[in-house]
Structures are given as structure tokens and as C-alpha cells.
Structure 1
């Protein structure tokens, strides 16, 4: 419970009193957060206009209207106004005061003052402008957490360019999946990063990313992570050169309120990452109130939130500069050389606001840390927590082992708004296991599936009924806004559905139960996974867990829990303790059907559990269609779960496709499921060739407009690649099934595989032509993707031939050449064969199968 002194000294209460003094609204009690929040939600235009005045936002041009319409999507904020996010970020902070401090887990530290930061931003902005970068151009980064990344972002925003980045722990292909969508003008790349005290050299990864990008971007090289630049490092200009030979830009360009500021990408675990575009004005207003009111951040504060450039909290943390606070960046592992590392940073830098995750607090508890005893934390006034649900036990641990009077502020929002929907506040009490209330300016309600508002105490969908300026201005490459509407407004038209299952309590606090698409629903009873996680991870030997609810094909329901635990000890005894703990802290209904001990568990790059992808894999979905290996932090952990699912489902191979009775009708991508654009491309590319086909022809053949084509695909190149991947996917899955059905000996498997390849090319003649003759049309990065997939088929064939040679079934001195010759022969059939030809299928297959057998020398 906050003291009277803390309440009266908070900025949010000062704001409430200021509202009355300005005649904007007179509240019955300016100290009452809930009264202020209710007004802010009911009167969004008046509230957000007051925020701009209170914080002194410098508008180049005033708005004709604050909120043009309350319709969602489509609400338009501060229409006609102009401003610049970077200008607001740099106008606070004494020149000699530290603006940014970088800490690495090997002990290295460096810093820049506010004065130095302003000079560096002006210099880099000038250099970018001299190279033709201007409003709307994209500047992207492949960097670790570093000071230069903040400088580059602010320089880009200064001249109206659009910023996006990924961390260097992403593989080049995963980084390209995100940054490549933007057709960047400039790529700013580091040389490496630090993790657990070890330098991770990423110079080769940068070289690969440069080749994969669809455009020839200017590459700026920065030495990061202690990895030096050398003669093989790919770059056009160094970071040092960028700052020294151009006239600095000291006056930020005014851009419209909704001019794109940055593009943040979704995790990409279940599909192509979506680029969420936020505007200068919306991001600014959100970051004025999130740290300014809810964290009470101001000049003199030291703001440290452990994050990476892959997570929206990087964007949120650097906005501490907006309030004149010193921000602390961290490069490395939060638990190296030990779990107490972050607490020591808090002590040594005099951190006043420390942001972390529930996982770090739980790790600190498990390892027996005593930060309140062993560190001087007198400067610390708030611990902010987000990323997952904060268990009630963590509140108690903080009181007992960190500070009894320290505010533990749990909050939740997302990449969608780069901000918060629910949070703590300096004038609100904190209750264990609950979030203090809706954030200012958020019209939050709980609805059932029929769109009816639920009373306090009942659980349902979290919805936002009034527009917020921080809502995305668009999704990237979504000109008609279809994907944007589908993401948030498909269930309740005109109302934002966020996808969280929550309860508003009688006292106005919020309990988050988890994502609605991964909600546990056992026998009609909805269970919160957060309660189960809190229970099981209270055990000191448990380090991670994942629980999912799997609807089975026969109508059953299976609720397994995967647990990572210390290796020592009796596994059966551990399972018994887990059952007892869950039942004791929640109910018997919450106890999983099965507890499976695993070596590790995968997460998104921002640390979130993969509940939905794992659920779908266990239900039998093809793994690569529900989870991307490049978007998880532990590929081997995901592969373990895939193998587990295959064994449980009785699948000996990754193929999950069963044939129909008619082999020629069996297709993974049935005609009715093949997207219209790809179906049209299959015909037109085969008829006219790739280079002879225009986008207009594809549009006419598919019945779409040209903008409709570009709604689905960025370019004709992307259409070709997608089509070729569909074709090769079908070929590989068909072949895997054929091998699995054959007897377990080389001759039978060889005949089955070759027959499968021949049949495929006969029945998909047009597709086979496209997949072979148009390979040269693919760009190098896309060509590599296709060839890597196609090589899986060649590997299957080569493996069977090698086994046949080793067992004496085949007699060829050149197994590799034989395999390539057979693959070429099978593809070549499609160049001349016609289904209406007089030669029937059986003689055709017999003839070419005998040729294939002759090539390998069947004994």
C-alpha cells in the first residue's frame, strides 16, 4: 500500500490536480487513481490532448481535430498536426549527465552523456541524409543491445526514416524474414554479441544477411560485443566514418502525427512474422504516460529494464530518455556469471526503476538470493514486471528478500501497442497475483463469446472499446488493412479483442489467466495456465514448464505438462510432488493428465512459452506449418517435442499426409486449398514462362485486382518461390509416404521412391516444369531456400542407393552420380509426356523404372 507521501509526490496525482487547475475536469479526489482512469477511458480525446499539453509536446503544426472518429479501426488522432518523436526524446537531460550506460556480462561498461548523445544523433542523421535517406525510407539494424543502436534509431527518426531491428542471436534467414520485408535503404550491422562471457562472432552472419536482403542496402558496420572488424567484414562504411564527414542535422524534421516511426515484428513462431507499424505521435503519447505516470519516471531516475532488441521492451526502455532519465542497456545473459548479476547492476548504478520478468524473480528465489541483505538497494523505488503472468509467490518473495516497502508493479500490454493495457500506479495498492488496474486511457472490459459485458468476478475476453493513439497505424504490406482487421477486430467488429483471458475483480484489479487461444478447457471448465505454472515452478528443482490442453480427434481431452527439472533425484517422487503442489495450491482439476520430464523447452525469442504451436504439433499438425525453427530460442528443444509427438501419434516420419485410394488424386495441396494466386501462377508460368508473365495477367487469371495480388505477395518473385515450395513440398511428402509403405529393404524402397517421383511429375506436369525450368529466375537467397528443400529428396534417394550398394543389392561405382541422373530423368518425363498420350501409365512407369534400375545396377 503506497504511503500518503508517495501518493502526493507522484506525477500522476500532480497531473490530476493540474487538470482541475486548467479547467479541463475537476475530479472529486485527485488522489483517486480509479476516478482519473474512468474519466480518461470515457473521454479519450480530452485525456490525450491534456497529456500533450501537460508534457509540453512541441507540435510543428496544431491539429485541426484531436480525434476524428471513434470508429475502430479507422480512428484518426491529431489530424493535421506535425511533430517529431526524436525531438521529444532529446529535449530533456542535462548535457553532463549520463544518458545511456551499457553493461556487458563480462564486466565491460561504457556510457554517453546527454550532450554526447545529441551530438552523435545529429552527426548520424546528417550522414544518412547526405546519402539520400529521407522520410519513409527504412533503416534497419542487426545489432545486440548497444549504445549505437539507440543513436541510429534516434538519427533515423530525426529525418523521418522508419526504423526496425532484430538482435544478432537471430539466424540470418530469420532476420531476413523480418527486415527483408521492408526493402531497407540502410542496414546497420554489428560484428558480434556477448553471451555468458563468450564473444559470439556474427561477421559471417552479417555477410549472409546482406546477400539475402532483396535490395542492395548501404551497410554500416559497428564493432559490437568486443568482436573486432577485419578485412573480411562486409560493409560500405564504418560507424566512425558515418559521423565525421557530414553536416550534422540539428533540427528534426516535422512529420505528420501518424507518420511511421518503427516497425516491430510478431514472434513468427506460427507463420511469417507480421510487421506492426506505429506512428510518431501514437508511440510518443503512450511512452509519455507508461513510464511517466505508471512508473513515475522523471529526470534524475536511472531506468534499467532487462531486454533484448528483439522485444518491444527495448523500444519502451529507451523511452526513459523521453523523461530525462538515464537508461541502462545490458548485453549478455541475466544469470552470468550467476543469478545475482542484475541485482548487482541495480546496486552499482543506483537504479531507481528496475524492469524484469517473473522468470528472473523465480530464478532468484530458487537460487536463494538475498538482494535486500546483500545489495544496497536504497535507490530502488519500483520493480516492474512483464512478459508473463507474475505469480503471487513472487510478491511474497520480493517483500521478504528484496524490500518490504518496495512497489512490485506488474503490467501487461504488447508489441501491438508498444505499451500497456493494465498496470500498477504509484497511487494504487498491489495485491499478490493481481495487476492493479487498467492503464490510463484504456477503456477495458471483459466480454463473453457473444459480445456481452461480464460483471466483476467473471472470466472472459479482454476487449478495448475505445480507440487509443498507440494502436498500430497499419500492418506492413497490408494496403487494404485486411490482416490488421483480422488480427484484432474479427471476433467483435469495432472492438479490439486482444486475445487475453482475464477477470476484473470486485476491487478493480486484473487477473490474467493466459492467452485465449491456449486456454485450458477441461470438461467444459476453463482453467488458467498461470495458476498451474505458479504452483509447479515454486518447487526449487523445477526450472521451466509448459502445460497445454489437446482436443483429441475422438472427442477426448489430454492435458500434459512438460517439465524441466534438475537431473538429480527420483523422477517418480518429483512427479508426485508436482501433483501434490498443484492440487494443494489450486485444485485437483488443475492436475495434468501426464507429467513429462524434458531436457529443455523452447520459447519465442522474447521468452514466451510456445503453448499454441506445441498444442497443434501434439494434435498432429505438420511442425513446419505451425512453428518456425528460426523464431525459437532452442531448436533442439522444439525438435524433441516434435519427436515426442510423432512417437505418441504413431508416426515414424515427419510426413503427416495420408493418401486417398486414387494415387493420382492424392495431393497435399488439394486444388480447393491452393490459393487463387498460386493456382493462377501455376497455369500462367507454365504457359508463358516466369519472365513472360505480368502481374496483370496473374490478376486477371486469379480474378483479383493488381492491388489484391500485392495484398498477398510483395512481388512476382515471392509468388514464384511460394509456388515452387508448394510443388517441392508435395513431392517430398509423397515420396516419404511411398518409402514408409514399402518393405524395409533397398530394392523395394528404391522402386517405391522412383515410382513416386515419376507419378508426381506425370500428374503435376505443369508444376514440374515450373519447379525445374524457372529455378534460374529465383534470387540467390530464394534459390538457396528452394534447393535446400529439394535436396531433401535427393538425400532420400542417395541414402537408399548407398544402402543398396553397401548390402550388395545395387552395383554402381558412382552412387552420387546415379542418384542425380535418376532425379533428372524423373523430372524430364514432364517435358514431353501428355496424360492423353497413347502410352498408358503402367507401361510408362515400367519402362522408366527399368531404366532407373539399370542406372544403379540391380543385381
Structure 2
């Protein structure tokens, strides 16, 4: 990461008035702290003083939050925070409560609680009284069918009132909730919901998009078959699509509310009892299920909308979101504060981009949440909502999902209202909450987030774990536990995936994966993700799902998708495809878009489809997502990849040229191509390795993995330490990548040698053993690292390395077995012979020196003779 000041401006673009500050709930809370004798702040109106105390005293702060908001604990905690260790901190031990009880205890019975708006103009709503009655009825029906604590209730629904009711009914019983939107294809939904082995499956019939009904009855039927268990199917008519005889249905939504005794007393569960599972996904593997508890989610959602957005019973709270995004969970928590919440089903730009502003006007929305992308679309379309509509009720525009550019702040002032606060914030599915945000008593600076959220001990660190001063860019870390941190990942009993996700770089400290700067004013600038996860408007998308969708198109031979954070706060998600015959036509692009949208969701559709002649992969078949993303962001190709690490140098060069052309750089690269001679092969790899790996090859061989520091790697490579971590998130990743390059070379070179030999066991055996000996002599440093540092790899990486290395062992075993069958070899133990020969070849590297008395050719002959003796050459 580059260092340097990221300040956009030193002049505040918005300042709260004295009346706004004094009437805010967060200032009332600060004064209450003094009245209760918890802490005497020198100035209760000073947000940063309150924040500093909340970060330094997390147990006192979160206990105070619970008391201030009047959380109804059925059983009080014996200890608020048992340990500050992360992961492993335990909050409010002994306490019992119920999330649904807290959600439903506010709001006058006759006040509207939930309003649903669709993009075709349809509108419906229920009051708080009706909401409480429906939740009790559905909970009763589920309880009659044996649903209770720990059972999983999953939903395949659009944004709808029934989804809110079903979630609260599930929480009432202590069941665990999870859902996906109906724009997800059945296979994509199953990848998430199927992990949970659900007891209840609540399914809609359709949803609305751009004014048209999307009939999803067949998708529901397919998903029902795909789910691994025989769950109770509850059918809900949604999106204006009627249920028919073919719709899977054990009980209708209407029946669920009519024939059971309502549950009016929610089940009290432990503070960390699972409440919901939200799914996120990286670049490979199935989506990860993140589990949050009743108490942690509750406290976070009291603070986030309650203090930072000032939401209370007088508000109408509308955040444009979908059930696939954590903001759905966050928005419905407006009910915790007695606010009316607004759900939206459809496209925000149909029939035009101004639709959401008209919804805000018509419903008297006071807090409106959206994304930077939507504000940018409004600017592009020339909207004038402030002049054309009555938005006088609006008090705050909340923005999250990606980096908010300064130009969007200015557009709101110029085209909506000059005195309107724009509250940029950032958090994540990981905590279903915020790390940094606005506040009613903080100024707004264009292009910056106003401050660190309450209860968050946030710092900026370099790669060695040193805290960086204001104005320098580094990793965003959280140094003290928060109750909203996940209680676990689903199906991760040992917590290995959880630790790897957040604590692998800095043990005991949460590393979120964002590159940020804290300015002198205490504001925050987020520069983007430091990994390769697609993160479009705050919704993390799995690239694997896009690739799987494209597999159904025979004309698409290969593909690569990346997400690129742009300098001005934009986000560009290009898809590179290789097609049969190299065609590049509009019809193909249309089919690609339709396929991705149909099999995953519209949010997975790329911003641009680029036809490439070929796409390179690593020698183990992995796509080059991170290197390509970095090149498109302007990083030098030699700093992020190596021609020696890919299977198609020409394809890599095409991507390099594409990135340079896009970035306005016409420079050309020089590359050293491999040849068939082993010495040139060695020179090629050692000269053309990325700088970090080349340095690691030397230092790991000299000092060993545990004796090597990141500073030593930086010094040897000529990079800064942040430069090292621009490419690798940990020293472990550097070691693993290096060892895979080494073993890839060994395996591929050996396969090449065998392929060039005559087709008989003796010739192939001699060629393979000679190749292994040549490798270990010429790549002595690599062989030593590959052999001695195996124990330093983490279990998952060790398995991947061994799987690759075992390919060579299997090839050797096959040749020996064939030789035994043909009578060329006479060993009675071919498997043991193969392992002994592989160990012997690797052992050569531990003592051989180029200047040794025994020259290379006699050494090769001697060890080849030993290998032949081991197999009993006749």
C-alpha cells in the first residue's frame, strides 16, 4: 500500500446546528452517562471524546447502551466481558433475552410499522399492532410443528412484509433465520440455504423487476428438490404471482396464521444464541455462513441507527436494499426504535432514476439510505429532486456499499438540499453493522467518512503491526472486541475458517481487509479492498458463481471476472471471456448477461464484457484474479505476476497490454521465455519471479520461514514493507505461493521430460529421475525451501501443496509399477521404492555444492544408478 495523505478538503461541507446537536440522542446518551455516574465527559456534545471513551472501555460502553435503551434481560449477566481476547471474547455471560421481543416492544398499535412499495406502483402496509399479531400467530404455527431453539428457518423471498414477519416469528422461538432473494438462481440459493439443513423452507412465488412480474414458481420447485432435507414448505404469494397446483406447498402463509395458538411470550435465549446466518463468498469455494447472536446483533442495531443516524419513533426509515444484503437486516432494525420502515421490491431506476426520490416524498421519509452508484446515476441523468419534489421531511441521506466520491456530496447539496446531511458509512456483513460512520454532531467533509463508530477501537497499522499516524495509509484493524463480531462461521466447528478470515495476519487483532487513512481531523478515507473479493456496492459476490453460470454456454470457453476500485470512488467489474471462433457480437453479450442474471442474480452481471483471445492461468489451473485486478489499477505487471507462473505467456501479455492501454501507458515489457534446456529454465524462473517471491526464495533458504521477518523480505526485494503487503496479506501466503511455484516447476518439468522419452518404462524412469535430480541441483534453494518448510505451512495450504507434489509421486509410482509388470524392474515393493527415490532426489539439494569435488555429470550418473538399484533393474 502506498502511503500519503488522502485528504480531499479541509473545509467542512456540512455542519450541524446547535439545535441539531442538542436534540440528538447521542448527546442525550453522553449526558445520561454523567447523570448515572458512569463517566463524566468534559463536553457531552463532543462526539470524538465519547467515541474515544467507548473504544477504550468497551465493557462499560456496551453495558451502558443496554441500560440506556432499556433492553429487557430475562436474566442479568454475571459478567459483561469475560475476556478481551479475539477471537474468543464472551459478552454478557449468563444473560438471556430475545431479539424479537426488543423489535416488537416499540411503536403505537395504530402506527404503520412496515410499508412495501413496488416499482409498478403497488403499495401495502401493516401497523405495529398487526405486526405483533402476525408474528405471534406465525410463531404459534411453527411451534405447533415442533420448531424451536436452534432449528433453521430459511426463506427464498423478495423484499416483502411476510419476510419481516417470518424472521421475527423465527427469532421469537429461538430458531435460526437465513434467506436469499428470489433473483438468485436455485443452485445459487441452494449453495447458501442448503448448508443449514433447514427445518422450514418459506418460499415466495415471484418478484417484480422493472414493472414486470418475475414468475419463480418453477425455481421454487427446483430449489425444493435441491435442498438436502425434507423441510416443511410454506408458500407465500409474492410479487403479484399467484400460487398454482404445481407450487410446492405443505402449508400456505394464510393457513399458518389462522389455526394455531399465538406465541405471545418469546423464548429467552443466551446472549450469544444464533439469530441469523448471513452468507458471503470470496473467489473460490462455497459461500461462507456468518453466524450472529441475539445479543450482539441487538446492541449493534441500537447504536448504528439509534445514535449514528438518530432513528427514533418519529422517523420513516427507507434504505434501498434486497434480502441478499446485510442492509436488509439493518433496515428492519428500524423497528427497534419504533420507526416505520419502508421495503422496496423492484428496480430503483424503473420507470426512471427518480423513482426512489418520489417514494421518499410520498411517504415522508426522514432517513433515506442508498448507494454511491445510485447517487452517481442520478447525477448522470440530470435529476433535480430538490426542485421537483417536496423532500422537506428528509433529515439524513445514508450512503454505504462502496467508496462515496466527493462529487456525490456536492451533487446532493446542489440538487437535493444544501442543508441535508450526507452520512457516509462503512461496515459489513461480518458484523451487520458499522465500523466508521457519520453522526448528528459531526461535520461532513466531501469524500471522507465523518468518524469512527461508537464502540469501535479502530486503528491503522502497517504490516508489522505498528500503528500509523494520521495521514498515512495502511490496514484497518480493530484492536478490541465488539459484541457484534460473529459468534462463528457455519460448519466451522474448530473455528479455523473464522480465524483465517480476520486474525491470520495480526493474531488477536481483527484485520478487515480495507486500506484506509485517518486524517488529522479524525475523518476516514477508505481506498478499497485489499483482497480480490468482488464487492459491488457493499454486496460481496462470489466470482465462482459467475464462472459456474458461464459453464452452461458452450461458446464461452474461458472467463475471468474482477472487481476494480477506481480512484474517484467508482467500481468497475469487467468480465473477460474467450469464445469459440473468437466471435465478438452483441448477441453473445446478451446471452452472457441473461445467463448470469438467470443463474445467479442481476447484481452479478458485469459492467463490461471484453472478448480476449485467451486467458492465462497458473500452472495449477487457478485464474489470475488478483494480478489482473492490480494491473487494471495501474500496478506494474512485474510486481504482481510472473510469466513463469502462468500456462500461457502470450495470453498474459495480452492482458498486460490491455491494462496499459486502459491506463494510458504505452510502455512495453521485456520477458525472458523458457527454453528446453534445464539451466535456462532455472535462469528464467529465478530472474522472472515476482520480486517478493524472488526475495523469499533467497531469505527463506538462508534463514528459514520462522527466522525471516517481513522487513527482511522488503529489504531484499527492494520494496517497502507496505509494498509487500500490497500483494500478499501475510507471510504465510508468501511462503505458500513460493512453494507452489517451486513444486509446479518440478512437476511440469518432470512431465515434460517423461513425455520426451521413449515409450518404455526404463527410458521414462531414467528421464523422470534425471529430471528430479536436475531440478534439486539447479534449484537448490527452492528444493531446500520446498522440503524443509513444509511443516511451516498451515494445514489447508499444506494439503494443497502435498496434493500437487503427490502428482509427481503418482507418476513415478506408475512408471515403476509398469516396469514391474513388464519385467524391467523386480522390486517387490514398488510404492516404497518410489518414495525412497523421491526422498533421495530431494536430499541431494541439502548438501550438493556447484564447487564440490564431485562434478555434476558423475553425480547424476551415480544417483541414477542408485535409483535403478532400488527398483531392481534387470
Instruction: Note if contact 1:388-1:608 (Cα within 8 Å) is conserved in structure 2.
Output: no
Structure 1 segment 680-759 matched on structure 2, within 5 A: none
Instruction: Note if contact 1:40-1:441 (Cα within 8 Å) is conserved in structure 2.
Output: yes
- Is 1:545 the counterpart of 2:580 in the alignment? no
Structure 1 segment 494-533 matched on structure 2, within 5 A: 494-517=508-531, 532-533=567-568
SS of structure 2 residue aligned to 1:101: strand
Instruction: Note if contact 1:518-1:548 (Cα within 8 Å) is conserved in structure 2.
Output: no
Q: What is aligned with 1:40?
A: 54
Give the 3 Å change call, closer, same or farther, for CA 424–341 of structure 1 in structure 2: same
Specify which of 204, 212, 223 is matched with residue 237 of structure 2.
223
- Is 1:620 the counterpart of 2:617 in the alignment? yes
Deviates most, 70-79 or 617-626: 617-626
Instruction: Note if contact 1:100-1:147 (Cα within 8 Å) is conserved in structure 2.
Output: yes
Give the Cα–Cα distance (whole angstroms) in 2 for the partners of residues 84 and 346 of structure 1.
32
Shift of residue 327 of structure 1?
A: 0.3
Q: What is aligned with 2:762?
A: none
SS of structure 2 residue aligned to 1:532: coil
SS of structure 1 residue aligned to 2:391: coil
SS of structure 2 residue aligned to 1:517: coil
Q: What is aligned with 1:145?
A: 159
1:344-393 deviation per Cα after TM superposition (whole angstroms, max 9, x unaligned): 00000000000000000000000000010011000000000000000000
1:749-798 deviation per Cα after TM superposition (whole angstroms, max 9, x unaligned): xxxxxxxxxxxxxxxxxxxxxxxxxxxxxxxxxxxxxxxxxxxxxxxxxx
Shift of residue 270 of structure 1?
A: 3.1
Q: What is aligned with 1:855?
A: none
What is the aligned residue count?
A: 588
Structure 1 segment 100-179 matched on structure 2, within 5 A: 100-179=114-193
Give the Cα–Cα distance (whole angstroms) in 2 for the partners of residues 203 and 127 of structure 1.
24
Q: What is aligned with 2:372?
A: 358
- Is 1:389 the counterpart of 2:386 in the alignment? no
Give the 3 Å change call, closer, same or farther, for CA 375–447 of structure 1 in structure 2: same
Q: What is aligned with 1:484?
A: 498
Shift of residue 516 of structure 1?
A: 1.4
Structure 1 segment 41-56 matched on structure 2, within 5 A: 41-56=55-70
Give the Cα–Cα distance (whole angstroms) in 2 for the partners of residues 519 and 244 of structure 1.
45
Q: What is aligned with 1:91?
A: 105
SS of structure 2 residue aligned to 1:470: coil
1:824-850 deviation per Cα after TM superposition (whole angstroms, max 9, x unaligned): xxxxxx9xx99965599xxxxxxxxxx
After the TM superposition, list the runs of 4 or more consecutive aligned residues in structure 1 that deviate by more than 4 angstroms.
528-531, 546-549, 598-611, 616-619, 621-628, 644-651, 833-840
1:32-57 deviation per Cα after TM superposition (whole angstroms, max 9, x unaligned): 00000000000000000000000000
Instruction: Note if contact 1:61-1:82 (Cα within 8 Å) is conserved in structure 2.
Output: yes
Give the Cα–Cα distance (whole angstroms) in 1 for the partners of residues 390 and 225 of structure 2.
49
Give the Cα–Cα distance (whole angstroms) in 2 for the partners of residues 519 and 151 of structure 1.
32
Shift of residue 21 of structure 1?
A: 0.4
Shift of residue 660 of structure 1?
A: 14
Shift of residue 529 of structure 1?
A: 6.6
Shift of residue 533 of structure 1?
A: 3.9
Instruction: Note if contact 1:262-1:279 (Cα within 8 Å) is conserved in structure 2.
Output: yes
* TM-score, normalised by the number of residues in structure 2: 0.64
Shift of residue 646 of structure 1?
A: 9.4
Instruction: Note if contact 2:41-2:50 (Cα within 8 Å) is conserved in structure 1.
Output: yes
Give the Cα–Cα distance (whole angstroms) in 1 for the partners of residues 564 and 220 of structure 2.
39
SS of structure 2 residue aligned to 1:461: strand
Q: What is aligned with 1:304?
A: 318
Give the Cα–Cα distance (whole angstroms) in 2 for the partners of residues 660 and 243 of structure 1.
74
Shift of residue 256 of structure 1?
A: 0.1
Instruction: Note if contact 1:99-1:327 (Cα within 8 Å) is conserved in structure 2.
Output: yes
Shift of residue 626 of structure 1?
A: 5.9
1:207-238 deviation per Cα after TM superposition (whole angstroms, max 9, x unaligned): 11111111100100000011100001111111
Give the Cα–Cα distance (whole angstroms) in 2 for the partners of residues 162 and 61 of structure 1.
21
* TM-score, normalised by the number of residues in structure 1: 0.65
Q: What is aligned with 1:676?
A: none
1:244-279 deviation per Cα after TM superposition (whole angstroms, max 9, x unaligned): 111000010100000000000003543210000000
Instruction: Note if contact 2:118-2:344 (Cα within 8 Å) is conserved in structure 1.
Output: yes
Instruction: Note if contact 1:395-1:408 (Cα within 8 Å) is conserved in structure 2.
Output: yes
Shift of residue 119 of structure 1?
A: 0.4
Give the Cα–Cα distance (whole angstroms) in 1 for the partners of residues 227 and 366 of structure 2.
41
Aligned CA-pair RMSD: 3.4
1:425-482 deviation per Cα after TM superposition (whole angstroms, max 9, x unaligned): 0000000000001000000000001110000000000000000000000000000100
Give the Cα–Cα distance (whole angstroms) in 2 for the partners of residues 404 and 31 of structure 1.
23
Unaligned runs of 5+ in 2: 1-14, 535-562, 577-585, 587-591, 626-647, 656-673, 677-747, 756-813, 825-874
Structure 1 segment 123-272 matched on structure 2, within 5 A: 123-267=137-281, 269-272=283-286
Give the 3 Å change call, closer, same or farther, for CA 211–481 of structure 1 in structure 2: same
Give the Cα–Cα distance (whole angstroms) in 1 for the partners of residues 278 and 514 of structure 2.
20
SS of structure 1 residue aligned to 2:511: strand
Give the Cα–Cα distance (whole angstroms) in 2 for the partners of residues 32 and 470 of structure 1.
25
Instruction: Note if contact 2:104-2:335 (Cα within 8 Å) is conserved in structure 1.
Output: yes
Structure 1 segment 778-797 matched on structure 2, within 5 A: none
Specify which of 25, 29, 32 is matched with residue 18 of structure 1.
32
Give the 3 Å change call, closer, same or farther, for CA 648–197 of structure 1 in structure 2: farther
